[in-house]
Amino acid sequence: MIEYKTERVLPQLENSILSVNATFGWQLISSQEVYNETTGISGVNVKSYGAFMQGFTGQDGKISVNTYTNVTHFISMRFGRDTAMPEYDRICSLENQFYASVNMPKPKKPVTLTAVCVIAMLIVLISVFNAVAQNIMPNLWETMVCIAIPVMLIPPTIIFWRSYKKDMVQFEEVKRRGADALMQARQIMNGRHYDVQESTPSDGQESISQAG
């Protein structure tokens, strides 16, 4: 049985998509470039002229129309793959592993919390330094604030950074597994070639995906 899928990709990614799909046994059946432009009106500005300008131009005012253009540009690529090909299940497993690594988002650094923590600590240190330099005894509430800020901000910042490092280790491991899956699939497909013939929809399975 032949299974099918259709991918919509950016034109600059066409060769990469062809290469990756070929690695997992997919063969290109057809491709079509789609380019479409649509224009619309985003707003209208009306400017009224004064008496002098009306007399000079012979017009009551000026109307400006703001327009925008939306461009749709992609390549629709239809692929087919024989489900009876040798080691089909193994290749599908490697394919799922590869795309899991591709679709996994990269963890974000806790930059905002770190910046807030650093700024708050600088304010506390400057306040303490000025109090010591001027030999000023701080009020109770000032002392409590200077103690509370580090207690409230430093532990969460440390926890978030540890969590980020842990997530990065997992992210890199998934990416490594994805690269290994792609390499293993290439080794399996190396030296093999399967011709996929177009058949009626009832003879195969159809899936549609979109990239880019």
User: Which is higher by pLDDT, 44 or 32?
Assistant: 32
Q: Tell me which amino acid residue 157 is.
A: T
Q: Does residue 153 have a pLDDT over 70? A: yes
User: Which is higher by pLDDT, 164 or 123?
Assistant: 164
SS3 category, 202: helix
The CA distance from 174 to 14, in Å, is 25
**Arithmetic mean of pLDDT, 39-68:** 66
Q: Check residue 21 and give its pLDDT.
A: 94
The CA distance from 98 to 175, in Å, is 8
Q: Does residue 136 have a pLDDT over 60? A: yes
User: Which is higher by pLDDT, 56 or 190?
Assistant: 190
The confidence band for 201, taking pLDDT boundaries of 50, 70 and 90, is: very low
List of residues 6+ apart from 197 with CB closer than 8 A: 2, 80
What residues are paired with 38 via a beta bridge?
70
Q: Does residue 198 have a pLDDT over 90? A: no
**Arithmetic mean of pLDDT, 8-20:** 93
**Arithmetic mean of pLDDT, 16-39:** 92
User: What is the average pLDDT value for the chain, to the nearest integer?
Assistant: 82
Average the pLDDT over each of 4-18, 63-77, 98-112, 126-140 and give the range with the smallest value. 126-140
Q: Tell me which amino acid residue 40 is.
A: G
This prediction has a pTM of 0.63
Q: Does residue 202 have a pLDDT over 50? A: no
The CA distance from 198 to 204, in Å, is 9
